[in-house]
């Protein structure tokens, strides 16, 4: 029996699990186990909606995987022992594996700025987002969103819309929407203005205090609540186990998504540092799901005596919600550079919602039809 264990039921881990389950259903020499902190699929890309008081759909892993033969284990992974090929959970359970798929995602990178870890909220888990929602509903007041990337923009817009009594300031180095075509970027910044978000760019955050953010140069920005969205890094688990990681604790992979130090470990989604010809993949669902499908297919190909193929991926869009009634969709080249075409307003809202709602029904389909979900843009000449 070859034991395949998938860690993490996010976008990437679930994609790997359903493909492994569907393609190995008739085999009695392969077992698939999925380990996750909770019994629900957390739609991480909607956590800013949770912070703004929305409740997410109750998507249960046991419903999705009923009848697939996958063994579900709930618990927090606290350690890996690659030499013994064992995963340790918080209740002291040990789970053995022959092939491991590491898909534990990432957390907000609070390492560079003192006080960010202790005093700022982050959108790492459903519980974190709910804590922030409770705080905002109780206190209102001033909110500083640190980080003017996509998560910061979406969170600032959502909070300003859902809590009209709060004064939201978005702080960051770069202008929000700087990576979009000029017209789409202008639309995004106008939308933030309409929602009452105050944008401060070109700022360097030096420290997070219990009731303020300290900037380089000595300025103090008072804030009753601080949300930290300044980058994502992997969990410290992989480095602690001796796996090769990059500067942000993501597992460094070869072209087939195997750990360069431990080839029996596949690393996917936000937890992995995956190089394409145009650069390192940035964490997203559009790339995370294909990494999961690819890892699953590679594992099964390897068990059949083949060589795992090279992973190739090209982006096709950037979708940014601006509250519930507005959005921007920027279509992109495979390397992420913006194309001419973008959508704004209602049409963009509908597009964004369709894309955000797609993963769960896609997983359902993939459990029944193993072929679906294995199609994604490979990036053409940008990844050849």
How far from 225 is each of 171, 181, 207, 230, CA to CA, in Å? 13, 32, 14, 15
Which among 113, 119, 109, 110 is positioned nearest to 205, based on CA atoms?
113
Stretch 55-74: interaction string toward ligand FAD, x if CB under 6 A:
--------------------
- Asked if 105 is part of the footprint of ligand FAD (rule: CB under 6 A), the reply reads yes
Q: Residues 373, 289: contact at Cβ < 8 Å?
A: yes
**241/250 Cα distance (integer angstroms):** 13
Number of residues that bind ligand FAD (CB under 6 A): 33
Cβ closest to ligand FAD, residue 336 vs residue 370:
336
Selected from 4, 5, 6, 13, the binder of ligand FAD by CB under 6 A is 13
- Asked if 270 is part of the footprint of ligand FAD (rule: CB under 6 A), the reply reads yes
Residue whose token pair is 């409770």? 134
Cβ closest to ligand FAD, residue 22 vs residue 72:
72
Site for ligand FAD in 271-290 (CB under 6 A): 271, 283-286, 288
Q: Residues 276, 313: contact at Cβ < 8 Å?
A: yes
Cβ closest to ligand FAD, residue 148 vs residue 212:
148
Q: Residues 257, 274: contact at Cβ < 8 Å?
A: yes
Residue nearest to ligand FAD (CB): 10
Q: Residues 205, 171: contact at Cβ < 8 Å?
A: yes
Interacting residues of 242 by C-beta distance below 8 A, sequence separation 6+: 82, 261, 262
- Asked if 36 is part of the footprint of ligand FAD (rule: CB under 6 A), the reply reads yes
Q: Where are the beta strands (DSSP E) in 196-326?
A: 198-201, 205-209, 212-215, 220-222, 225-228, 232-233, 251-252, 265-267, 272-273, 275-276, 279-280, 317-321
Cβ closest to ligand FAD, residue 124 vs residue 302:
124
Stretch 111-150: interaction string toward ligand FAD, x if CB under 6 A:
------------x---------------------------
**81/315 Cα distance (integer angstroms):** 35
- Asked if 315 is part of the footprint of ligand FAD (rule: CB under 6 A), the reply reads no
Selected from 4, 5, 6, 11, the binder of ligand FAD by CB under 6 A is 11
Selected from 37, 72, 95, 243, the binder of ligand FAD by CB under 6 A is 37
Residues at the site binding ligand FAD, with contacts judged by CB under 6 A: 8-13, 35-38, 42, 44-45, 47-48, 76-77, 103-105, 123, 151, 154, 235, 269-271, 283-286, 288, 319
């Amino acid at each position: 029996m070859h034991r395949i264990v998938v860690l993490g039921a996010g976008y990437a881990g679930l994609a790997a699990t359903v493909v492994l389950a569907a393609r190995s259903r008739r085999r009695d020499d392969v077992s698939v186990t999925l380990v996750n902190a909770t019994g629900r699929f957390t739609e991480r890309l909607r956590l800013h909606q949770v912070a703004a008081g929305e409740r997410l759909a109750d998507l249960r892993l046991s419903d999705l995987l009923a009848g697939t033969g996958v063994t579900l284990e709930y618990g927090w992974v606290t350690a890996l022992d690659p030499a013994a090929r064992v995963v340790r959970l918080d209740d002291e359970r040990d789970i053995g594996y022959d092939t491991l798929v590491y898909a534990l995602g990432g957390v907000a990178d609070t390492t560079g700025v003192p006080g960010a870890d202790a005093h700022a909220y982050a959108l790492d888990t459903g519980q974190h987002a709910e804590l922030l929602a409770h705080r905002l509903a109780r206190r209102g007041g001033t909110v500083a969103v640190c980080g003017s990337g996509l998560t910061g923009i979406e969170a600032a817009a959502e909070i300003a819309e859902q809590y009209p009594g709060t004064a939201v300031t978005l702080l960051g180095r770069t202008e929000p929407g700087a990576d979009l075509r000029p017209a789409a970027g202008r639309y995004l910044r106008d939308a933030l203005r309409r929602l009452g978000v105050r944008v401060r760019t070109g700022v360097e955050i030096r420290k997070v205090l219990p009731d303020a953010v300290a900037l380089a140069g000595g300025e103090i920005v008072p804030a009753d609540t601080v949300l930290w969205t300044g980058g994502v890094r992997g969990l410290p688990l992989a480095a602690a186990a001796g796996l090769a990681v990059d500067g942000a604790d993501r597992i460094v992979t070869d072209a087939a998504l195997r750990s360069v130090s431990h080839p029996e470990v596949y690393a996917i989604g936000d937890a992995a540092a995956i190089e394409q010809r145009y650069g390192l993949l940035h964490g997203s669902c559009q790339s995370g799901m294909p990494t999961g499908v690819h890892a699953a297919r590679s594992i099964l190909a390897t068990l059949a005596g083949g060589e795992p193929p090279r992973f190739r991926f090209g982006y096709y869009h950037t979708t940014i919600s601006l509250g519930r009634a507005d959005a921007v969709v920027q279509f992109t080249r495979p390397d992420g550079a913006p194309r001419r075409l973008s959508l704004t307003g209602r049409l963009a809202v509908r597009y964004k919602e369709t894309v955000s709602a797609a993963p769960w029904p896609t997983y359902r389909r993939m459990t029944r039809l193993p072929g679906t979900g294995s199609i994604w843009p490979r990036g053409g000449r940008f990844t050849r």
